[in-house]
Structure 1
Amino acid sequence: MRNDSVGRYYDALYKKRYSLLLKRIFDIVFGLITFIILSPVFVILSIAIKMDSKGPVMFRQVRVTQYGKQFRIFKFRTMVSNAEKIGTQVTTNNDNRVTKVGKFLRKYRLDEIPQVFNIILGDMSFVGTRPEVVKYVESYTNEMVATLLLPAGVTSEASIKYKDEERILTTSEDADRTYVEVVLPEKMKFNLKSIENFSLFTEFKTMIRTVLAVVSKQ
């Protein structure tokens, strides 16, 4: 991460270090409140997942977050067991590995709810660059690495802009290659711009826009 491309983003964030501290405090407090409020939802969705298909309730996968640290993300399982062994690491539209309950969870992004645990633990934040698997992080350019200056996030401007990412990958003969060469670079433009323009107010707006984007998919 020690290169000139990352340096200017580091300098921009250093000037906002007190806002970043408030961001972490917000993540912890709001994360705990969210978990308490959504506890009944956790139980209901867990039962639905177990009744729908064989396998664990949670999907745990190694992702990369701040400063290149690897962690295991929490997500509700939306695919059949061992889905990674029978397909790509990105999901395409109408992917036959997705379960019936999984389709519902993905449509309303309910599979992301367990990431509140990652937020409380400090591996993630409510807003930030979506955490990628190691395979994709290894393809980052020097500038893209700057996104690792902050914890990975549940949502971001890039997530909103590319909420229908699966449809783009569906038409590709090589989904992995298309993601790395086409989708990822475009998403990173938004992620890097978000670092330069970081503010708590902007992050609140992103959270609200995410909720509206999910609701609009109905």
Structure 2
Amino acid sequence: MRTDFERRHSRWYEKILLGVPFQLLIGLPLVVMLPSLERWGWEFWHYLPDVRRNTIAAIILAFIGILFTLRRLARFPGSQVVAYIAPTVTIYFLVMVAILFFTREGYTRQVMFSGYLACLLWFFAGHFIGKRYRRLKLAVVPLGEALKLQGTRQIELRYLDKPELDRVRFDAIVADLHAEDLTPEWEKFLAKCTLAHIPVYNVKQVQESVTGRVRIQHLSENEFGSLLPSSLYQGFKRVVDFFGALVLIPLLSPIMLATAVAIKRDSPGPVLFVQERMGYRGVPFKVYKFRSMRCDHHGKGFTEGEDDPRITRVGRVIRKYRLDELPQLFNVLKGEMSFIGPRPESLALSEWYEKDVPFFSYRHVVRPGISGWAQVEQGYAAEVDGMTAKLQYDFYYIKHFSLWIDVLITFKTLKTIFTGFGAR
């Protein structure tokens, strides 16, 4: 049984190369030692004044933060970790420098910068060397809902012909544990896999990991409870939102002023578009946006895609780079919105959605956001199109409500802002 049922990466050298201990025992000393030796020589550890200790401690803390942040981001579907290595390394080192600056502690700039470059090299090299090991290889029991699964760039699926692994090593087994045609032979096979320490996952768990959505057709009361977000993180996030908006409003005021002038010169009408929308805990509020449509055209009450004839010339530009959302910084400051969260819907659309989806209002358990998981994964589609998919993305966000998914959404949003890719 040990020959036919062996978990992938169960061999000692694979466990070492893919594990956190290898990063901390090999990578961390290299990132610290190489810059230190280059600047201070081989005998640097015999004499460690405060400046050297501060520099080494900052590099160590930055390395550990980078390591665990990238590992957490890699768990979410669609996260291309290689795209987040440089931003993550840069942010952590900037934070370390800021802490040293504001606490007036001395440090060596040359060693800090060399440590920054060493971290970039280490994490990029680790990503490309271990790329083939990180793609999950899952065996699928071809019954029930499992037949609908589709692989991704991160997950390779192999459907089994019979209840055997044929000496192929897999990361896990996927099965519809509630399938009516799950025979005793397949149940015995799943038991043998579990005994061999090969994880067996219900298809629902894997569907969420692959699609980034929580299915909403059969939400039960217990599942509602599992979707309850952390009140501790909600409080922390509110503090970050408040001070973030307080800093960004004056910094971005020149861009907002230029946008307002361009809108006013492009077409008649007010600069701001103000609409009442459904907010946190079902409390309506007025959302602020820069107007991107003509006032003398009437439509359906929601945007009809990129080709909507009501969108002005300036409107197309500010929508592409999300500049129309900037006035919502004031909504964030007032506590009506967050930087990250489900997009707030108009009152009319919310009432209409609730007629078809009774638990639609559950998305209001967290503050609505300027950007959100549905927007970076699905795009800013027409309001009514893909409503079910949007709701599934929103529930996935609420279920995984944490700093890590907010960081990932922030990276993806910044990519859209600077490239215009994915905006509608």
Q: TM-score, normalised by structure 2?
A: 0.45
> Structure 2 CA distance, aligned partners of 1:110 and 1:9?
35
Q: Does 1:129 align with 2:332?
A: no
Give the whole-Å Cα distance in 2 for the aligned partners of 1:82 and 1:9.
44
Q: Do 2:278 and 2:350's aligned partners in 1 also have CA atoms closer than 8 Å?
A: yes
Conserved in 1, the CA contact under 8 Å of 2:332 and 2:338?
A: yes
**Are 1:119 and 2:335 counterparts?**
no
1:8 offset after TM fit, Å?
Answer: 4.5
Counterpart of 1:72? 286
**How far apart, in 1, do the equivalents of 2:260 and 2:416 lie?**
25
The corresponding residue for 1:214 is 417
Deviation of the 1:200 alpha carbon: 1.3
- Which of these two proteins has the greater Rg computed from alpha carbons? 2
Q: Does 1:59 align with 2:269?
A: no
Task: Give the direction of change, closer, same or farther, for the CA distance of 1:112–1:7 in structure 2 (3 Å limit).
Answer: farther
Distance 2:400 2:232 in 1: 15
Higher relative contact order (CA 8 A, sep 6+): 1
The aligned amino acid for 2:395 is L
Residue 157 (structure 1) shift? 1.3
Cα distance 1:142–1:7, how it changes in 2: closer, same or farther (>3 A)?
A: farther
Kindly indicate whether the alpha-carbon contact (under 8 Å) linking 2:226 and 2:399 is maintained by their aligned counterparts in 1. no
Does the CA-based 8 Å contact 1:9-1:195 persist in structure 2? no
Q: Unmatched 5+ residue regions in structure 2?
A: 1-218
Q: 1:68 to 1:6 in 2, by over 3 A?
A: farther
CA-CA distance at 1:43 after TM superposition = 1.0
Please give the residue correspondences for 1:2-151 in structure 2 after superposition, counting only pairs within 5 Å.
Answer: 5=220, 8-9=223-224, 12-13=227-228, 16-81=230-295, 83=297, 86-92=298-304, 93-138=306-351, 139-140=353-354, 141-151=357-367
Report the aligned-residue RMSD. 2.0
Q: 2: distance between equivalents of 1:94 and 1:204?
A: 32
Does the C-alpha gap of structure 1 residues 63 and 7 become closer, same or farther in structure 2, counting only changes over 3 Å?
A: farther
* Aligned partner of 1:197 among 400, 403, 408: 400
CA–CA distance in structure 2, aligned partners of residues 184 and 78 of structure 1: 23
Q: Which amino acid aligns with 2:405?
A: T
1:152 Cα deviation (Å)?
0.8
Relative to 1, partners in 2 of residues 1:7 and 1:120: Cα closer, same or farther, differing over 3 Å? farther
Shift of 1:162: 2.5
Partner of 2:181: none
CA distance in 2 between partners of 1:20 and 1:54 (Å) = 41
1:173 is matched with: none
Code of the residue aligned with 1:96 in structure 2: it is P
Measure the CA separation in 1 of the matches of 2:222 and 2:261: 47
Structure 1 gap ranges (5+):
167-175
Number of aligned residue pairs: give it: 199
1:162 aligns to what? 378
Partners in 1 of 2:300 and 2:378 — Cα distance? 18
- Judged with a 3 Å threshold, the aligned counterparts in structure 2 of structure 1 residues 6 and 31 are, in CA distance, closer, same or farther, namely farther
Q: 1:137 to 1:10 in 2, by over 3 A?
A: farther
Q: Structure 1 CA distance, aligned partners of 2:303 and 2:326?
A: 18
Identity over the aligned pairs, expressed in percent? 31
